[in-house]
Amino acid sequence: MTKVEVQPFDKDWFSRPGDSVLSAMRRRRVSPSAVAERLAGGMPQLREILSGFGGIDDEAASALSSTVGGSIPFWISRQEKYQKSLSQAVEQLPAEEADAWLEQIPTPGPKRRITANTRTTELERRLAYFGVSTLKSWDARYGPNQRVARFRRSLTFTAHDGATSLWLREGELEANLRQTEAWSREELNERLSDIRALSRIRKPSRFLKPLAALLAGCGVALVIVKAPQGCRASGASRMIAPDKAMILMSFRHRADDQFWFTLFHEIGHLLLHEGAPFVDVEGMDVADDPQEREANEFAATIIVPKFREAELESLPARDEPIRRFAVSLGVSPGMILGQLQHRGIVPHGVLRRLRRHWTWEEIFAED
């Protein structure tokens, strides 16, 4: 895993009306469900407004005015001014940058064919969705390295970069719609054992809701978003507001050891690194990254406490001893298998029956 640090927007970003809605909701402590109840389109309409895709008409302006404040004319004017700014931003894009947006940065939904007639609309969709007016500001928030020097060298981003930015933005939107308590590092520390105990539950449909509830009580919105094609990220963590953190999970490989290790890794980032944003991507060298090593060590210690590491490393590569050790620790056997394989004690591909694998239907099932 490696981190992708996400820096604040540069001066060339611009604010969507949905950003003002979200800010007003937080300031007045109005829940997403309370706003959605007043909108004709309910929660889907609120999500569209926050995403930048949905506009604010007279009816929506009335609903917003009655829930988060501001007059109806204010919200109508806010939408009109934003649409004007968005059109101007598209007009000012250099041709090379516009091509890079269209060819390399995706938006949600099926891939659309770009024509001369749809070019402007598609550029507006991308700028609106990511809330930026240039690729430089997109790179600062969602890009691969967030370094101005890299951006100046090239406008070329990989398929992974574009797909990962889409995954991150989807996660932010979902996290913004989750109700949580105020972020508390102390509360999260206290709940680690309760979170860890959930790994013994076999079905995601039975552990994800209590897991999300435990994290929400600490001010962390847990979001599960399937990674789009080209995205190799397994997890991400960041503060999405001063009092709200997000952990985004992709369920990469759909296996219990990978899911729980990644979750504890992201919790480690939140606890150890002051809420700094991270995107963790598999297959990358982390030898020179002390924060990634710290998060890995934190996750491993949550699974197997330090005082039991010697016992772990003396386990034979057999089913029953591993199961007994897992039971004694109160974690799933797959998590112990994963630690043994990571240490090179058990070869990969051996004892697969100890690891739980899930289908997407099982992951998103409602019990």
pLDDT in tens, the chain (367 residues): 444 333 332 334 478 999 999 999 999 999 999 999 999 999 999 999 999 999 999 999 999 999 999 999 999 999 999 999 999 999 999 999 999 999 889 999 888 889 999 999 999 999 999 998 888 888 888 876 543 333 333 456 677 888 999 999 999 999 999 999 999 999 999 999 999 999 999 999 999 999 999 999 999 999 999 999 888 889 999 999 999 999 999 999 999 999 999 999 999 999 999 878 888 887 655 656 788 899 999 999 999 999 999 999 999 999 999 999 999 999 999 999 999 999 999 988 889 899 999 999 999 988 6
Based on the domain organization, do 157 and 72 belong to the same domain? yes
Q: Is residue 3 part of a domain?
A: no
Based on the domain organization, do 215 and 278 belong to the same domain? yes
Based on the domain organization, do 117 and 251 belong to the same domain? no
Based on the domain organization, do 343 and 314 belong to the same domain? yes
Q: Is residue 214 part of a domain?
A: yes
CB neighbourhood size of 109 (10 A): 8
Q: Is residue 225 part of a domain?
A: yes
Sheet with 233-241, strands from edge to edge, namely 220-224, 244-249, 233-241, 278-281
User: What is the rounded CA–CA span in Å between residue 356 and residue 367?
Assistant: 18
N- to C-terminal Cα separation, the chain: 32
Based on the domain organization, do 113 and 178 belong to the same domain? no
Q: Is residue 40 part of a domain?
A: yes
Provide the domain count of the chain.
Answer: 2
Q: For residue 247, what are the β-bridge partners?
A: 222, 237
Based on the domain organization, do 52 and 185 belong to the same domain? no
Range of the domain at 77: 17-166
Based on the domain organization, do 193 and 227 belong to the same domain? yes
Based on the domain organization, do 346 and 267 belong to the same domain? yes
- Domain-terminating residue out of 133, 166, 199: 166
Q: Under a CB-based contact definition with an 8 Å cutoff, are residues 88 and 123 in contact?
A: no
Provide the pLDDT for residue 167.
Answer: 93
The token duo for 78 is: 């806010």
Based on the domain organization, do 241 and 353 belong to the same domain? yes
Maximum distance among all Cα pairs of the chain, rounded to whole angstroms: 71
Provide the pLDDT for residue 62.
Answer: 97
C-beta pairs of 326-333 under 8 Å, 24+ apart in sequence: 329/303, 329/304, 329/305, 330/196, 330/197, 330/200, 331/196, 331/199, 331/200, 331/260, 331/303, 332/199, 332/200, 332/256, 332/257, 332/260, 332/356
Q: Length of the chain in residues, anyone?
A: 367
Based on the domain organization, do 340 and 248 belong to the same domain? yes
- Domain-terminating residue out of 124, 144, 166: 166
Instruction: Looking at 252-308, list the stretches that DSSP marks H as alpha helix, in order from N- to C-terminal side.
Output: 256-272, 290-303
Based on the domain organization, do 309 and 181 belong to the same domain? yes
What is each CA distance from 217 to 21, 32, 185, 233, 240, in whole angstroms?
24, 17, 11, 26, 16
Residue in the structure block whose two tokens are 């002051």: 274
- Domain-terminating residue out of 118, 147, 166: 166
Q: Is residue 8 part of a domain?
A: no
Residue in the structure block whose two tokens are 């007994």: 324
User: What is the rounded CA–CA span in Å between residue 287 and residue 275?
Assistant: 22
Q: What is the pTM of this model?
A: 0.88
Kind and range of the H or E element at 87? helix 72-92
Provide the pLDDT for residue 155.
Answer: 56
Q: Is residue 85 part of a domain?
A: yes
Based on the domain organization, do 142 and 263 belong to the same domain? no
